[in-house]
Structure 1
Amino acid sequence: MSSEIDSSTLLSRASQLIDLARKAGADAADAVVVRSRSQSVSVRLGKVEGTESSESDDFSLRVFIGKRVASVSANPGFDLQALAERAVAMAKVSPEDPFACLADEANLAKSYPDLQLFDATEVSSEMLREAALAAETAALAVKGVTNSSGAGASGGMGGLVLATSHGFAGSYMGSRFGHSVSVIAGEGTGMERDYDFDSRLYYAELDDPAEIGRRAGQRVVKRINPRQVPTGKNVTVIFDPRVARGFVGHIAGAINGAAVARKTSFLRDRMGQQVLKSGLSITDDPLIVRGPASRPFDGEGVSGERLVMIEDGVLKHWFLSTSTGRELGLQTNGRGVRGGTAVSPSSTNLALEPGDISPEELIRSVGNGFYVTELIGHGVNMLTGEYSRGATGFWIENGELAFPVSEVTIASNLKDMFMRLTPANDIDRKFGVAAPTFAIEGMTLAGQ
């Protein structure tokens, strides 16, 4: 992959856009270029099914006239002056937004660290093809695997170039490589599907494709001949790390300042109060070297720092961008991200910090319960906290995984679930949202 050698060119174009917007009548402006390069290969049953390659540099200009704001986007090759004049004309007739603004100059990053987010390793289509085939071959070699849903390998880069009318100019790039495979076990109506994958910033740190394939095969074979279990209340449910990460995402959504400002979060009135069991903490750190979601500055040019969002169970922070912070009477904490032409708050490297016991010890401590490996549906109400999801996994009997289970529903309220959560010690921080295996007591399980 090409490196950051032409970021200076993109910064120059962004700065020109801002100058033209100011000349056209804007009081303030910022310009962003989101850069993306990717290539991927997909295979199925030993044959290449698809090869894709894409490149894009997407420009966005945001202008402010008093309390009015407008944004426009364009692809490379556009007329700079025409784009600037169009944005200013739109802003003049836009409704006032009392909170929209650039980040305060005092909050802008004056310098920022090299987080080592970019790996310049060149991956050819042939390398990607061989990796995908190796993953699929290893998965199909596992006894009991009967078919393949396909395997893939990819490599790419992405980054941000940002310039503002009050003096910020910066850029960063990050790389991403991945291997994945999905396979089937069983026949007819008894077929089961499962998968495995790995994704890293540095190519050399990826798991071996054959190992990914073996894990996928072993996972799916264990799911053959699932049973149903009786409906029950006060069931202890253990979340596999895969589904645990999604659950932590619900916590992130509930402490997002935008949701709090819109009054769509069930935690909107809980700042400074206990929302997790005592002893539990959730951290967010944008400055981890080689972190999967690290960034030296946010989408407004503000550097973030490590925050303990929930400390010893007590809610300490919202995720905030500048405008969301103003709406809540607070300062940004450097969590603004660009989504098209808009800026909204989001997490970076988010982690539910681990506990002290192993997953095996946690399972043994349960006695009888349900170990979830996959969740189905979107039955989560972030306004009330009501939680109801279809689930598959394994029944726990006498402290051990006894047999596969499917076609059940688990339900509770997130407020109660947060207070009954017990984490294990097996966190894997290679994901932007990281979580260990954890148990939640007192859930309702709807089965037979």
Structure 2
Amino acid sequence: MTDALATLCDDLLTAARRAGADSADAIALAGTSLSIDVRGGVLEQAERSEGTDIGLRVFVGQRQANVSASDTRAETLAEMAERAVAMAREAPEDPYAGLADPGQLAQSPDIAALDMSDPTPEPDPEALQRDAEQAEAAALAVQGVTQAQGASAGYGRRDVWLAATNGFSNGYSRTQRSLSAVAIAGTGTGMERDYDGDSRIHQGDLRAAADIGRSAGERAVAALGARKPPTGRYPVVYDERIAASLIGHLLAATNGAAIARGASWLRDALGAQVLPAHLSLIEDPLRPRATASRPFDAEGLPTARRAVVQDGVLTGWTLDLSAGRKLGMPSTGNAARGTSSPPSPSTWNVALTQGDRTRADLLRDMGTGLLITSMIGSTINPNTGDYSRGASGFWVENGQIAYPVNECTVAGNLREMLMTLVPANDARPWLSRVVPSLLVEGMTLAGS
């Protein structure tokens, strides 16, 4: 398939030159997905899709335009190129737009070492249905579970090819296998719902269906009888399932596009301490079998391991070529794109330094406070870092879980919150964001 995508990209670039483009890049994506949903022990939905999408970005001087299509006929490629060039000629000049210099491009990346594609055959629908049925049955077998909202199993494969008139041309394939279950406990207004799931590149790494279903059921039952916690200022532990959201806010604030616009609460923090001195945040796009790994970015630049935060100090921004040029810095190899838009900065696999204590140890040290296991809504001021989110989880007294809670809000300022982080040691190493449970001191809690 990648050979066909390479040919498509070459044909798009040829069409762009013929239409009058000074330079151009093209991306082609071919995907297959299969999903099975089960509810009440019977098949509820089965869906399979296949398709190819193409995108073309052209430059006329310092003007650029992007077009996309899912039709790969020769006449469509020519029409795309003509339309893109016409659009570019009418676009405003962008002094920071342009392709990478040939010397910046990735040279012979070791794609096989990343192990991003499972060589085993695509699972048949019956096998996916059996997995979903087993997960749902395991959830229903948990005492206190009154119904299962359903279980889903899926498989996907995506082939990617990128080519540009600066000489870059390369691609790779990625697979994904997923399984999840949702359980409901209780009845009437006292019902509680929770879930569990897993997603891996290799089918053999996927957690057992019975384990996923049982965990979903146990989580739903544990939430029964939830009530509002007291209002006040308390320490908070973010469970590992949702702790990565805090680090996500930090990553968003270090995005070069936001920095260039001056719309980030970390815009003046380069070289300053943003985490406790014993914590680092490392990005590694070259981790084998990780879902966000990639050998090169969407502009053909090599990806590499880097420290976003080293020993608590913010070391740099996340940059593509355009953002880097605006800030007078080199790209960090973090350009991402789809077929319908130009590249923009994005992060790949990241990992926060883990601690030496369990989540139970954090709760013990916290004494009295809130354990958050689920969050809804979000109010984040990108300029100040003021933070407010709806939450549910468990109230903790004397270091022990006392009762489940819901319908509360936690608030603080991200700059202050991140400086108090205490990590546990329970991060799942296969995730693209490896972040353990986190204790945050002194947040404002609005409950009863």
**3-state SS of the aligned residue for 2:343?**
strand
Aligned to 2:395: 395
**3-state SS of the aligned residue for 1:440?**
strand
Does residue 246 (structure 1) correspond to residue 245 (structure 2)? The answer is: yes
5 Å matches for 1:179-258? Answer: 179-233=179-233, 235-258=234-257
Contact 2:5 2:160 survives alignment (8 Å): no
Q: Report the Cα distance in structure 2 between the residues aligned to 1:317 and 1:157, rounded to whole angstroms.
A: 33
Aligned to 1:428: 428
Aligned to 1:343: 343
Aligned to 1:260: 259
What is the identity, as a one-letter code, of the residue corresponding to 2:97?
A
- Cα deviation digits, residues 324-347 of structure 1 (max 9, x gap): 111111111110001332100101
The CA deviation at 1:266 is 0.5
The partner residue of 1:86 within 83, 87, 101 is 83
**3-state SS of the aligned residue for 1:378?**
strand
Contact 2:100 2:166 survives alignment (8 Å): no
**3-state SS of the aligned residue for 2:356?**
coil
Q: Report the Cα distance in structure 2 between the residues aligned to 1:104 and 1:191, rounded to whole angstroms.
A: 59
Distance 1:41 1:219, change over 3 A: same
What is the identity, as a one-letter code, of the residue corresponding to 2:286?
L
Q: Report the Cα distance in structure 1 between the residues aligned to 2:360 and 2:182, rounded to whole angstroms.
A: 26
CA RMSD of aligned residues (A): 1.1
The CA deviation at 1:35 is 2.2
What is the identity, as a one-letter code, of the residue corresponding to 1:111?
S
Q: Report the Cα distance in structure 1 between the residues aligned to 2:429 and 2:71, rounded to whole angstroms.
A: 36
Distance 1:82 1:229, change over 3 A: closer
The CA deviation at 1:24 is 2.3
What is the identity, as a one-letter code, of the residue corresponding to 1:420?
T
Contact 2:275 2:421 survives alignment (8 Å): yes
Does residue 316 (structure 1) correspond to residue 311 (structure 2)? The answer is: no
Aligned to 2:441: 441
Q: Report the Cα distance in structure 1 between the residues aligned to 2:249 and 2:31, rounded to whole angstroms.
A: 28
Q: Report the Cα distance in structure 2 between the residues aligned to 1:201 and 1:132, rounded to whole angstroms.
A: 18
The partner residue of 2:25 within 27, 30, 35 is 30
The CA deviation at 1:361 is 1.4
Q: Report the Cα distance in structure 2 between the residues aligned to 1:15 and 1:26, rounded to whole angstroms.
A: 14
**3-state SS of the aligned residue for 1:117?**
coil
What is the identity, as a one-letter code, of the residue corresponding to 1:445?
L
**3-state SS of the aligned residue for 1:299?**
coil
Greater shift in the superposed pair: 93-102 or 200-209: 93-102
Q: Report the Cα distance in structure 2 between the residues aligned to 1:402 and 1:139, rounded to whole angstroms.
A: 24
Q: Report the Cα distance in structure 2 between the residues aligned to 1:217 and 1:155, rounded to whole angstroms.
A: 24
Does residue 104 (structure 1) correspond to residue 97 (structure 2)? The answer is: no
**3-state SS of the aligned residue for 2:307?**
strand
5 Å matches for 1:367-406? Answer: 367-406=367-406
Runs of 4+ in 1 over 3 A off after TM superposition: none
Contact 2:289 2:430 survives alignment (8 Å): no
TM-score between the two structures when normalised by the length of structure 2: 0.97
The CA deviation at 1:417 is 0.4
Aligned to 1:3: none
Could you list the runs of 5+ residues in structure 1 that have no partner in the other structure? 1-5
Q: Report the Cα distance in structure 1 between the residues aligned to 2:255 and 2:159, rounded to whole angstroms.
A: 23
What is the identity, as a one-letter code, of the residue corresponding to 1:23?
R
Does residue 20 (structure 1) correspond to residue 15 (structure 2)? The answer is: yes
Contact 2:290 2:349 survives alignment (8 Å): yes
Contact 2:8 2:28 survives alignment (8 Å): no
5 Å matches for 1:61-76? Answer: 61-76=56-71
Q: Report the Cα distance in structure 2 between the residues aligned to 1:361 and 1:369, rounded to whole angstroms.
A: 14
Greater shift in the superposed pair: 313-322 or 357-366: 357-366
TM-score between the two structures when normalised by the length of structure 1: 0.97
The CA deviation at 1:86 is 1.9
Aligned to 1:58: 53
Contact 2:391 2:409 survives alignment (8 Å): yes
Aligned to 1:39: 34
The CA deviation at 1:88 is 1.5
**3-state SS of the aligned residue for 1:194?**
strand
The CA deviation at 1:76 is 3.1
**3-state SS of the aligned residue for 1:196?**
strand
Provide the aligned length of Structure 1 versus Structure 2: 442
The CA deviation at 1:111 is 1.1
Contact 2:275 2:313 survives alignment (8 Å): yes
